[in-house]
Amino acid sequence: MEKIRYRLVYNRKKQLNRQGVALVQVEASLDKRKVYFKTNIYLKPEHWDGCHSLVCNHPHANELNAMLFEFVIRIQTMELEFWKRGVQATLSLLKDAVTKGKDVNVTFLAFAKDYVSNSGRKESTKDNIATTIKVLQGFRGGMDFKDITYSFLKEFEQYLRERGNGINTIAKHMKQLRMLVNEAINQGYIHADAYPFRKYKIKQEKGKHEFLTPDELKKLEGLRVDDKKLRHVLDAFLFCCYLGLRFSDFSQLKGCNFVKVNGKRWLHFKSVKTGVETRLPLHLLFDGKALDILDRYDMADFTDIGTNSEVNKALSEISRMVRFNKHLTFHSARHTCATLLIHKGVPITTVQKLLGHTSVKTTEIYSEILSNTIVKDLKAAAKKRNVNNFQNTVLSR
């Protein structure tokens, strides 16, 4: 890699300001690209020696030349610090260090935290990335960019496995790390040739869609909960079992999302995740049970149930109360809604629209996970076949 070259440039724009002076800048060039740094020193044309790049014929020429020399040395020192840390010094990195005051000795974890704070990603995504950063800190605090190699990835995977994480949880952390590494490459902290994920394959298995059976849902509906917070979480969970809402969509609901159509209440909202607009007739889904819950709460209070993590902890407690041998999360409500609707015979394309799936293939997974649905469909097919045989026999007589 070619070294960055520096030189002092006076009046680069060939234009004096109203005071008849122009700026002295430091030009940094690398691979036919250039960036310029302001020195905040302005001079008249007669005070600059272009041949030797020095201040001349000025009452403070020596002091000004010393200031310019120190400015160049400071930039060169920053470049050297990057190289000492094994980070390829680029013009963009140098510019950030000089103009934005970014620490040249920033660690990977510090870089990652700063990225999360300043990125325009959704809060839920930021929370997920922050969780991965916290795990990385526990694995190897103070890690540098040069530490992230293929061997590092294998060791981090082993660390996650030893902590009892499942394949998909490990995959989630590795995907977050890959995203951070890609961003570090984009910003010049890691060279593209040193990309550690080139040979590393993230392992993942088909996720298990936890849902409630009709009997389990009925058991939850009849559960008596005296604790106000747990009761609130349970009602919100049941509400989403009846409507198939994601946590992100439930959390952003307001009174204006509920409208009347022909005197009946419907729920209109745009999905936070997909942007798909969904319209749900509350009175037609699960005998209108969602309406009964809704009428017990003020809308602003109803959707204020805490973070997804807090709600899932509360659901774990509720699950123990009814002795469910299942790991319930708030997303289980969405799986429950889809599975039971298909079990009741609702066409899969209708369920697709109710859930706001952009592809029917996403919805099809729910038609495969309730064994009673298979039995029901087979019995219906057998009954239809018997009716057809009977009609054919009558017609043949």
Tell me the pLDDT tens digit for each residue of 165-204.
889 889 999 999 999 999 988 887 788 888 999 999 999 8
Q: Report if pTM > 0.75.
A: no
For 77, the domain range is 5-99
Q: Is residue 42 part of a domain?
A: yes
Per-residue pLDDT band at 294 (split at 50, 70, 90): very high
Answer yes or no: do 90 and 9 share one domain. yes
Instruction: Return the bridge partners of 69, or none.
Output: none
Q: Count up the domains in the chain and report the number.
A: 3
The CATH code of the domain that includes 249 is: 1.10.443.10
DSSP code for 305: -
Tell me the pLDDT tens digit for each residue of 122-149.
777 888 899 999 999 999 887 888 889 9
Answer yes or no: do 25 and 82 share one domain. yes
Q: Is residue 388 part of a domain?
A: no
Residue 11's nearest CA partner among 58, 46, 62 is: 46
Tell me the pLDDT tens digit for each residue of 364-382.
666 655 555 445 555 665 6
Boundary of a domain, candidates 82, 99, 116: 99
The neighbour count for residue 62, using CB atoms within 10 Å, is 10
Given CA atoms 150, 156, 159, 164 in this order, what sign does their dihedral have?
negative
Residue with structure tokens 């990125």? Answer: 119
pLDDT(220) > 90: yes
What is the model's pLDDT at position 394? 43
Tell me the pLDDT tens digit for each residue of 348-368.
888 888 888 777 676 666 665
Higher pLDDT, 77 or 99: 77
Answer yes or no: do 191 and 234 share one domain. no
Answer yes or no: do 30 and 12 share one domain. yes
What is the model's pLDDT at position 215? 92
DSSP character string of 310-375: HHHHHHHHHHHHTT--S---THHHHHHHHHHHHHTT--HHHHHHHHT-SSHHHHHGGGSS-HHHHH
Percent of the chain scored above 70 by pLDDT? Answer: 87
What is the model's pLDDT at position 136? 94
| Cβ atoms 348, 367 nearer than 8 A | yes
What is the model's pLDDT at position 380? 60
What is the model's pLDDT at position 201? 94
The CATH code of the domain that includes 191 is: 1.10.150.130
